[in-house]
Amino acid sequence: MNEKENELENEEGAEGEQGPRVIYLDYAATTPVHPDVILEMIPYFTDNFANPYSLHSCGQQAKGAVEDARGKIGNIIGAASEEIIFTSGGTEADNLAIKGVAYANADRGNHIITTSVEHPAVREACKSLQSKGFEITFMPVDSYGMVDPQAVKKAITAKTILISVMFANNEVGTIQPIAEIGAIAREKGVYFHTDAVQCVGHIPINVEELGVSLLSMSAHKLYGPKGVGALYVKDCTKMLQLMNGGEQERNLRAGTENVPSIVGFGKAVDIAGEDLEAEAARLTVLRDALIKGIQEKVQHTRLNGHPTKRLPNSVNIGIDFVRGDSVALGLDVEGVAVSTGSACSSGNAGPSPVLLAMGLSKDDARSSVRLSLGRDTSQEVVNYVLELLPTVVARFRKMSPAYDKFLKEGGKGK
Ligand code: PLP
């Protein structure tokens, strides 16, 4: 083990009962649950296990905890607590927003505008509506993955009932001009949904300033538990529930609330709110050092996504002459966890639809790797990855006929 590896081993903790510690750079896929979140949740599995809809005092205590979390989550996005509807995660929040508005407003129109770079939760919800007779416009994006607000404005027709544009992309990190689109949606009287799953707890958000009527969130992206999320539903938004049953969650989401997870979500939001801007600034510095370092140390690479209007923790790099999945596996063998893009589509060998929509060729899309940073990412981690990555890339390039040809031709044309 060299000196650097030794340093890191000490920093990351020695090999424990669960095997060697991994350098985790896949926070966009999910985050570890914060230890204080776990502590906050435990009593709601043990002593305070009651149903929040029960009238007895134990039930009322559980209800109080749910309402407390609702208030905290509303607070971090500038919403009233009554405007927060708990769901089973970001996917359900997206589906509820899109289908809930579509079905409730079908008498006014059947047209929905979204983008070509949405998470599958939005994309597939829209496609499902398309198969039921709704008209969906999938707006193109530029080479940074950015949608043009004026093009969105032009796409609005008398039949448009909803615009759904993600806040920041989960694969490339590009942040969309949400406030501009929100102003257009308001002016035209169209509901506006944003999938902010990658943003809540990471960058400042205020629903009033953004002009959104619906906003999706998920706890596991901000050091909370998996399987719980929320949808902000602005007062007066005409919605239909998707699941029939009890009257929970303003009659928009039937089913007994997942009390421990909701409590954990509230605590995670509380913790994120304590140093949101400082942590975003810290990660931005590390993100930019990682991007610059990769570009200096590995030839023939390109940054995917916008250079500055991007999430503080998000790096997505195209590496010519190798496949992203090979590099990800090569890093994994060395104890570094990264991904090729969305965790929801890995296992699907096709190139990322997001990168294709940004104009990348299939080969370039397949050559991309996503490194997403988080609470445990330090300068030492960045330095270590910058030492390791060139070796891993060189290993795979040695096996690449395209790279061989490129070198034989004098290394021109890239
Ligand atoms: N939307 C975005 C942008 C995401 O990144 C994800 C998760 O990766 C989701 C929605 C789905 O959230 P969940 O995993 O909570 O269902």
Give tens-digit pLDDT for 105-152.
999 999 999 999 999 999 999 999 999 999 999 999 999 999 999 999
Average pLDDT for 201-207: 98
Q: Exactly one of 58, 199, 236, 344 is catalytic; name it.
A: 344
Coil, strand or helix at 215:
strand
Report the distance separating Cα 29 and Cα 72, nearest Å: 24
Res 344 pLDDT > 70: no
344 as an active site residue: the answer is yes
pLDDT at 324 over 80: yes
197 CB near ligand 1 (under 6 Å)? yes
Is residue 89 a contact partner of residue 229, using CB atoms and an 8 Å limit?
Answer: yes
Tell me the average pLDDT across 71-84: 98
* Two tokens, residue 112: 């929905």
* Residue 11 confidence (pLDDT): 47
Nearest CA to ligand 1 atom 4: 197
Helix 324-333 × helix 379-398 angle, to 10°: 120
Q: pLDDT value at position 249?
A: 95
The gap between the terminal CA atoms of the chain, to the nearest Å, is 36
Q: What is the mean pLDDT of residues 236-262?
A: 95
Residue 90 CA, ligand 1 centroid: distance in Å = 5
Q: What is the pLDDT of residues 43-61, one digit of tens each?
A: 999 999 999 999 999 999 9
Is the pLDDT at 301 greater than 90? The verdict is yes
Residues 403, 404, 409, 414, Cα dihedral to 10°: 10
At residue 12, does pLDDT exceed 50? no
- For residue 344 and ligand 1, the question of a CB distance below 6 A is answered with yes
Q: Residue 4 pLDDT > 90, yes or no?
A: no
pLDDT in tens, 348-383: 568 999 999 999 999 999 999 999 999 999 999 999
Tell which atom from ligand 1 comes closest to the C-alpha of 91. Answer: 16
Q: What pLDDT is attached to residue 347? A: 53
- CA angle 216–221–222, rounded 5-degree value: 105
Q: Separation of 92 CA from ligand 1 center, angstroms?
A: 9
Arithmetic mean of pLDDT, 313-324? 97
Establish whether residue 270 lines the binding site of ligand 1, counting it when its CB lies within 6 angstroms of any ligand atom. Answer: no
15, pLDDT greater than 50: no
Minimum-distance ligand 1 atom for the alpha carbon of 218: 15
Atom of ligand 1 nearest to the CA of 166: 3
Pocket test for ligand 1, best of 124, 166, 221 (most atoms within 8 A of CB): 221
- Say how many Å lie between the CA of residue 78 and the centre of ligand 1: 21
21 band by pLDDT with thresholds 50, 70 and 90: confident
Does 90 contact ligand 1 (Cβ within 6 A)?
A: yes
Residue 41 tokens read as: 């949740």
Q: With bands split at pLDDT 50, 70 and 90, how would you rate the model's confidence at 411?
A: confident
Domains defined for the chain, CATH in brackets? 3-25+276-400 (3.90.1150.10), 35-274 (3.40.640.10)
Task: State which of 91, 169, 220 you would mutate to test the pocket of ligand 1, scoring each by most atoms of that ligand within 8 A of its C-beta.
Answer: 91
> What percent of the chain is predicted at pLDDT more than 90?
91
- 267 CB less than 6 Å from ligand 1? no
Q: Is the distance from CB of 228 to CB of 264 less than 8 angstroms?
A: yes
pLDDT at 350: 83
Tell me which residue has its CA closest to atom 10 in ligand 1: 90
What is the band of 230 on the pLDDT scale with cuts at 50, 70, 90? very high
Question: 97 and 164 in contact (C-beta within 8 Å)?
Answer: yes
The answer, yes or no, to whether any atom of ligand 1 lies below 6 A from the CB of 218, is yes
What pTM, to 2 d.p., does this model score? 0.94
Cβ of 320 below 6 Å from ligand 1? no
Is residue 119 in contact with ligand 1, taking CB distance under 6 Å? yes
Mean pLDDT of the chain: 94
Q: Is 123 in the pocket of ligand 1 (CB under 6 A)?
A: no
Res 17: pLDDT: 54
Distances in Å between the Cα of 269 and the Cα atoms of 93, 136, 166, 263 are: 17, 34, 20, 10
